Amino acid sequence: MYSNDLIKGTLRTIILKLLSENTRMYGYEITQKVKELTDDEIQLTEGALYPMLHKLEAEGTVVTEQINIGKRVRKYYQLTDQGKEEAKEKVNEFLRFIDTMKDVLNHKNSFQPWLS
Amino acid sequence: MAELTEQQIEFVRSEILARGVNLDTLRDDLLDHICTAIEHKMDEGLSFDSAFVETIKLFGPDGLMQVQHQTLFLLTQMNETMKKLSLGFGLATVALLLAGIFFKAMHWAGAGALIVLGDAVLVLGYIPILTAHKLKESAPNEKFNAISGYLGLGVMATGITFKLMHWPTANMLMLIGFGILALVYMPVFYYLRYKTSLNKSITITSAIISLICVILVLQLMNFKNVGLYNHGITVINEQLEENLVAARSNSALVSGDKAEQLHEKVGQFVEQIDKLKLELKAATQGISEAEAANLKLSDLSRANSEVASMFRLFERKEIDKIVADVASINHDILAVFPDPMQGEMANIINLNTSNTYVSIKGETQTWATYHFQNASLIGVVSNLSALQLQVQQAENLALLYLKSQSEALRPPSAAL
């Protein structure tokens, strides 16, 4: 399990990436998918997922579709065109970020030039 | 795959509601999420009850409420323009009000304009932006509370500005604003807090402390005093005017050319002051002089305002004419008496406008500034009445002396 601080900054990217690979998903499905993909290393807390989904909807990044399931309503979230663009950007940005972090973390000596 | 019954779904729905989630769209999401989670756990062999407990536990204590707060927070984060605007309005309000108070304390020009501008920015700029933002951020049951809070604050701020500027309806506005805050905003605020708070006794304590503050402020305001003061002045003024009417019914005392000249001069002066009193009332109230004649002093709005009466009396120099007239009348009246009596009569009549006076603050003042400057409208009017009466009574003393002299000169036989 990773610390909450690390997950917080990546939540938006994770949701956008998942939605870009699936036509539409509902909230519970997203949490389960994340668990499955990360071997339980990342567990999206419910407390963080829905606020972000609602914000994405308000921004026009995703749209919802409501399906009645018996006595309850299931809301499916789907990327808009604008959302698809943002998903690509966010994923690319994050991949570059990982590369940069790798550089930083692997070159220990660069921080202690007098030892080399 | 297990499927929940209608009753079980209803149960979950009511549990979500009981935990304070009242955003409809969020409630739908959470209901489906929790129901699906329960179904999955039931597939793994748990009973409905324990599956429900396990699922709710995942949200943590107070978790559902946290989800709603977080959602509202994310949805209503101010955008950059709004942040800048509200910061700008807020700082402008503070700067203008501070400058206004400083100018006022230093008696510099423009203090009023600064204060009015500061309050205008507060009431028309800052408060509306905060209200709009608060309305978006609040859960449905908190919206009314937010509106009443900002409304009360706005009305109260306007009232205080009016009070500082001596504008009419200031007290009314302040009372309405304070009433909204004390009777609507505060009770609703504490009711909402009480319903959701974990430590109810702390909520009750802070509610009681706020209530005590409200009562203390009300005691401080003490609306009655000003009313009683104005009422007292009104009664005194009515008595002065009554005595003036009595003192003027003196035609029986007038005999001889000298007496008639004096009688006419004083009569003109008294009428001129009557007119000035009406003009002052009419100008400050914005009504006709006929209407002003029927208006009691205690019914004057801005009764305690000194601005308008000062303008008439001092800036338009009406006071100089009064001083000259009183001096001239004083001279004529004293001239009636023979030289040896004049000193005593001057003390009795006490109409010497070149006397100096010492004010409450210890400043030396002229006759005019002592009696009329910095007095409220209601005070100026009643001081004018007192002056009329004083002049009229002085005239009567002179007439009485003149008459006694002519009676004394007549032969006793003629009196029979």
Distance CA(B145)–CA(B21), nearest Å, equals 18
The pLDDT value given to residue A74: 92
φ and ψ of B356, to 5 deg: -110, 155
Strands in B243-336 per DSSP E: none
Q: Do A46 and B70 touch (CB under 8 A)?
A: no
Q: Are B74 and A69 inside 8 Å of each other by CB? A: no
Tell me the three state secondary structure of residue B360. Answer: coil
The answer to whether the CB atoms of B58 and A45 lie below 8 A apart is yes
B201/B250 Cα distance (integer angstroms): 77
What long-range pairs does B273-278 form, CB within 8 A, spacing at least 24?
A: B273/B322, B273/B384, B273/B387, B273/B388, B274/B388, B276/B312, B276/B318, B276/B384, B277/B381, B277/B384, B277/B385
Per-residue pLDDT tens digits for A9-62: 788 899 999 999 988 999 999 988 888 888 877 777 777 889 899 888 888 889
DSSP calls for B158-185: HHHHHHHTT-TTHHHHHHHHHHIIIIII
Indicate whether A112 belongs to any domain: no
**Whole-angstrom distance, CA of residue B349 vs CA of residue B390:** 8
Range of the domain at A62: 4-103
Of B28, B60, B63, the CB nearest to A75: B28
The number of folded domains in chain A is 1
Question: In chain A, which residues have their Cβ closer than 8 Å to the Cβ of B79?
Answer: none
Supply the CATH number for residue A49's domain.
1.10.10.10
Tokens of A95: 């991949």
Total count of residues recorded for chain A: 116
Is there a domain that residue A108 lies in?
Answer: no
Interface contact A28-B67, CB threshold 8 A? no
One-character DSSP codes across B306-360: -HHHHIIIIIT-HHHHHHHHHHHHHHHHHHHS-HHHHHHHHHHH---TT-EEE-T
- Residues in B lying within 8 Å of A, measured between beta carbons: 3-4, 6, 9-10, 13, 25-26, 28-33, 35-37, 58-60, 63, 66-67, 70-71, 73-75
Share of chain A above pLDDT 90, in %: 29
With CB atoms and an 8 Å threshold, state whether A28 touches B30: no
Neighbours of A72 (CB within 10 A): 19
Tally the residues of chain B.
416
Asked if the structure places residue A110 within a domain, the reply is no
User: Does residue A79 sit in helix, strand or coil?
Assistant: strand
DSSP A99: H
Identify the CA nearest to B112 among candidates B305, B258, B301. Answer: B305
pLDDT value at A115 more than 90: no
Q: What does the H/E/C string look like for B235-261?
A: HHHHHHHHHHHHHHCCHHHCCCHHHHH
Q: Which member of B35, B60, B74 has the closest CB to residue A51? A: B74
What ipTM goes with this model? 0.84
Contacts of residue B350, Cβ cutoff 8 Å, sequence gap at least 6: B390
Closest C-alpha among B235, B308, B321 to residue B272: B321
What is the phi/psi pair of residue B67, to 5°?
-60, -45
Q: What pLDDT is recorded for position A116?
A: 46
Please list the pLDDT of chain B residue by residue as tens digits (416 residues): 778 888 899 899 888 888 888 888 888 889 999 999 999 999 988 899 999 998 888 887 788 888 888 888 887 776 778 888 889 999 999 999 999 989 888 888 888 889 899 999 999 999 988 888 888 777 777 888 889 999 999 999 999 888 877 777 888 898 899 999 989 999 998 888 887 766 778 888 888 888 888 888 877 765 555 667 778 888 999 999 999 999 998 888 888 888 899 999 999 999 999 998 888 888 777 778 888 888 888 777 655 555 555 666 777 778 888 999 999 999 999 999 998 888 889 888 888 888 888 877 788 888 888 888 777 788 888 889 999 999 999 999 999 998 888 877 776 655 44
Residue B405's pLDDT is what?
Answer: 84
For residue A112, count other CB atoms closer than 10 A to its CB. 8
Judge whether A111 lies within some domain.
no
| 3 state DSSP class of B55 | helix
pLDDT digits (tens, 9 = 90+) for A83-114: 999 999 999 999 999 999 888 888 665 555 55
- Specify burial of residue B157 (Cβ count, 10 A radius: 0-12, 13-18, 19+): buried
Which tops the pLDDT comparison, B317 or A63? A63
Q: Does A114 reside within a domain? A: no
H or E stretch including B358?
strand B356-358
